[in-house]
Structure 1
Amino acid sequence: MLIVAIVGIVIYSQVGVMAAEPEPLAAVKADPAISITDDYAAIVLSPVEGATGDGLVFIPGAKVDPWAYAAKLSGIVESGTTVVITKPWLNLAFFDLRPLDAFTSLAPDVDTWAVGGHSLGGVRACQLTQDAEALILFASYCANDLSTSGMPALSLAGELDGLSTPAKIADARPLLPADADMVEIAGAAHSSFGDYGLQPGDGTPTISDADMTETLTSEIDHFFQTQVAVG
């Protein structure tokens, strides 16, 4: 029975993985302002110039190609933040037990690290905050209690998200510090946080990819400058 269960999990983890859309990914790979290192553990996006010393370890959502997040996070890289997009075991963050330093070690020049993630990746990110200076949730929420941690936290939600709905995020709000920044992005759905197509059960986004990238960049840059630096 155990062998059957393991085989079943492996098969489930490999079937239906949502691939990165080719055009946004090609644009990131051609961006002269971004240096890309494809490591076995993660994808490292580094600013070619003007690095701020800030970094984000980003954990993908369940069964989403890690490359699918490169374009949406490219704006903060161009602003000077190093981004490490993890490659979760079995494409599921829940099964990835590696500590945060397995990823931060890939960018040794970064001084200040935030950890974050999309959907299930954000749930896992909440569990790794003891080794980070800040938390950023992308259409996600915590399952563990960080309300007394004093950690700078930013929650980015989508108005039209049919999976991590605004109601679910509101219900989990007490698990975050009282001064956490809660941002709901107008017109955004669950899939708006990456470039991998639409998902069953999700809302239909009305925000463009360009506007979504601009909004994410603005909110995260502001968070690093005003909350993380102060914290």
Structure 2
Amino acid sequence: MSDTSSPNGRPRRAGRVKSTLLGVLAALVVLVIGFVVWTQIVMPGTRSAALEVWEDPAVSVTDVGDAIVLAPTADAEVESSGAGLVFIPGAKVDPYAYLRKLSGVVEEAGATVVITKPTLNLAFFDQRSLETFTAAAPDVDTWFVGGHSLGGVRACQLAEDPAVAGLVLFGSYCANDLSEASLAVLSLSGSDDGLSTPEKVADARVRLPADATMVKIDGANHASFGDYGVQPGDGEATISSDTARAAITRELVRLLG
């Protein structure tokens, strides 16, 4: 049998290197596929909470593909305020999980809310511009941005846009410095939040404008800002979902009303 390798064995070494590279490539492909699958396993919204908003005659719910738009209907007791909020969900949380908690400001203040559907269900992968979502509600005159948890971190980045009038944080805090920004800021935290703890929110306070409104909702945990059940690592809420919604609505109406 003839030996096709060179005297120094280079073809054989080249074959081993090729096999190793192919193995590494295959492992990377498996990791990428596994990661994408993981991002699609979201914390689902509570069906009854979302259904309540769908059946509310004062609130219009429209899925526009990359976002869900909540707007006052002709049956609403208040007229459209001209204010709008682009809201970014927390990591791997179904956007529909925020319908009920955000519908109160639509009912009571006539605001429009655009809940985004982040790329891969993770806000930091979503680099689409603010205009991608404001285009879904062209009648809005004044835009605010906001988000829950990781969604709030992304909202802080979008708040650097000169077109943004204000920022809303649900159990979140900024990684970028907005302390000198001309923004109306509302930060809502939960006293029993085990993820964005009151201590973490307080430590990041320096990155917000001096006149930012900081509200801690007693008895609320991280999941109290949506309707999607228990979240790993969270504290235990000692108030009901209805009580949390009332507190959230009250503060949002003050800002957007």
**Inter-partner Cα distance in structure 1 for 2:33 and 2:215:** 40
**Inter-partner Cα distance in structure 1 for 2:182 and 2:151:** 21
Task: Tell me the amino acid that sits aligned with residue 40 of structure 1.
Answer: G
State yes or no: 1:169 paired with 2:229.
no
Aligned to 1:39: 64
Aligned to 1:229: none
C-alpha contact (below 8 Å) 2:89/2:116 kept by paired residues? yes
C-alpha contact (below 8 Å) 2:88/2:147 kept by paired residues? yes
> Cα 1:78–1:173, aligned 2, differ >3 Å: closer, same or farther?
same
Deviation at 1:8, TM superposition (A): 3.5
Q: Which structure 1 residue ranges, 5 or more long, are not aligned? A: 226-231
Task: Describe how 1:212-227 pairs up with structure 2 within 5 A.
Answer: 212-225=244-257
State yes or no: 1:52 paired with 2:81.
yes
Q: Rg bigger for which structure?
A: 2
State yes or no: 1:145 paired with 2:164.
no
Aligned to 1:82: 112
TM-score by length of 2: 0.85
The residue matched to 2:44 in structure 1 has which SS?
A: coil
State yes or no: 1:104 paired with 2:134.
yes
Task: Tell me the amino acid that sits aligned with residue 91 of structure 1.
Answer: N
Aligned to 1:228: none
**Inter-partner Cα distance in structure 2 for 1:42 and 1:213:** 21
The residue matched to 1:155 in structure 2 has which SS?
A: strand
Aligned to 1:182: 214
TM-score by length of 1: 0.94
Deviating above 6 A after TM superposition, structure 1's stretches of 4 or more consecutive aligned residues are: none
Aligned to 2:191: 159
How far does the alpha carbon of each residue in 1:185-209 deviate from its partner, in whole angstroms, 9 at most, with x for none?
Answer: 0100000000000111111111111
Aligned to 1:29: 54
**Inter-partner Cα distance in structure 2 for 1:125 and 1:178:** 18
The residue matched to 1:133 in structure 2 has which SS?
A: strand
C-alpha contact (below 8 Å) 2:111/2:256 kept by paired residues? no
Deviation at 1:22, TM superposition (A): 1.0
State yes or no: 1:197 paired with 2:229.
yes
Aligned to 2:19: none
Which residue among 71, 75, 99 is the counterpart of 2:100?
Answer: 71
Which residue among 21, 33, 41 is the counterpart of 1:7?
Answer: 33
Deviation at 1:4, TM superposition (A): 4.4
**Inter-partner Cα distance in structure 2 for 1:36 and 1:90:** 23
Identity level (%)? 59
How far does the alpha carbon of each residue in 1:112-166 deviate from its partner, in whole angstroms, 9 at most, with x for none?
Answer: 0100000000000000011411000000000000001121111000000000000
**Inter-partner Cα distance in structure 1 for 2:204 and 2:114:** 26
The residue matched to 2:255 in structure 1 has which SS?
A: helix
